[in-house]
Structure 1
């Protein structure tokens, strides 16, 4: 067994921050009341996280790039047949990553236009009609249940790998390090060697675009609506 670094720090930070943000968004949404304000803030934070991961999937560490693990159904069949060997996300796990990113992104974006007619209005709700906002609010509530199901499957897969396949997926996502057999390490030496290197420029670009996404999602680019002038006083005659 050889100990190799397969997950870079930005990828690990994204993973755990997203997990805690989803939990916090669910809890604050269920409690409601004054916590709904924090529900909206967490939603904006999730928008930034998803934007960062999408950018990082193209310019980040080799094992974090979509090109390294999104391989199509041929690779999935090979994996199910026991003919796939590699590092990072396996072809089946790639579907889980894409599903989670897509669902979380759709959930967060729909929340930007949501309106509960009581205490919360998404920062971009004013850009759509009341009917469209109502439909997006219903979609937001529906996607919550779908997302909970996908998260449950994700957790079940982790338990399956730990208990049945004797492959701990949690520890590498915490530490970045994983023990691989000589054959696996030899199949992707350059990927493994470069997986843990810091990429300050790429990280800066991804972070800047994530911040810009949050700014846009919060409606910071919208022109402020001027306050309506006070009605003129009626003449005294």
Structure 2
């Protein structure tokens, strides 16, 4: 059967994906340069926290393909897909495949740990996270070390993610990047027909969740929560 186009990714997921990619790239750059860019580096960290909180909420109350329940598979399913992926057989999925789903979780955890530890970190010179004063210097130093080491783990995950995207493009002939721009995937006709049953949540719900996430992060970094 021939392939057909099917709408898979909603606008909130796509905006989240590319916004996060841009902010993370800036964070690596500003963190390495330091100096006057550290103020922007901290703002970038707050932005990552907002995006991660939003994605967690959207993973529960968002569109079908955005929900964790739709793409988090057990070990057997993940291993079965890995074997299929390494064979010559096509391995199309409407949304995240079993391995890609766990990559989403791994990246969210790493980003939350990276940005969260940065709130308490210090550089022993002039810059410290907004919550560094709430812990001892020794604790701040330990969290600074976590911040630096998580950076390396995050780089490894990003490299693995990009490698998987390239593999799907070159070997499996799946344009995952294009789909994340347009929201549309080319799928086998039967799978595309099944995808017609996907439900897409309102963008207004996404905007409301984003505002709530931003408010929570503001309450955290401004230490307003201490006065509540």
> TM-score of the superposition, structure 1-length normalised?
0.87
Distance 1:22 1:91 in 2: 24
Instruction: Tell me the residue number matched to 1:75.
Output: 77
Shift in Å at residue 178 of structure 1? 0.9
Q: Give the secondary-structure state (helix, strand or coil) at the position aligned to 1:123.
A: coil
Q: Find out whether 1:138 has 2:145 as its counterpart.
A: yes
Alpha carbons of structure 1 residues 141 and 3: separation in structure 2 relative to 1, 3 Å? same
Query: Residues 169-224 of structure 1: CA distance to partner in whole angstroms, max 9, x if unpaired?
Result: 10000011111111212444412xx2xx4514521431132112321331241558
For the 8 Å contact 1:63–1:88, the answer to whether it is kept is yes
Distance 1:104 1:56 in 2: 16
Aligned length: 220
Unaligned runs of 5+ in 2: none
Distance 1:56 1:161 in 2: 26
Q: Find out whether 1:102 has 2:104 as its counterpart.
A: no
Instruction: Tell me the residue number matched to 2:52.
Output: 50
Alpha carbons of structure 1 residues 177 and 85: separation in structure 2 relative to 1, 3 Å? closer
Unaligned runs of 5+ in 1: 225-237
> TM-score of the superposition, structure 2-length normalised?
0.90
Query: Residues 129-180 of structure 1: CA distance to partner in whole angstroms, max 9, x if unpaired?
Result: 1110000001100101111111111111111111111111100000111111
Report the more deviating stretch, 47-56 or 83-92: 83-92
> Which of the two has higher C-alpha Rg?
1
Report the more deviating stretch, 77-86 or 15-24: 77-86
Distance 1:200 1:188 in 2: 19
Shift in Å at residue 22 of structure 1? 0.5
Q: Give the secondary-structure state (helix, strand or coil) at the position aligned to 2:94.
A: coil
Q: Find out whether 1:216 has 2:223 as its counterpart.
A: no
Instruction: Tell me the residue number matched to 1:233.
Output: none
Shift in Å at residue 79 of structure 1? 1.5
Distance 1:70 1:115 in 2: 36
Q: Find out whether 1:199 has 2:202 as its counterpart.
A: yes
Quick check: which one's helix share is greater?
Answer: 2
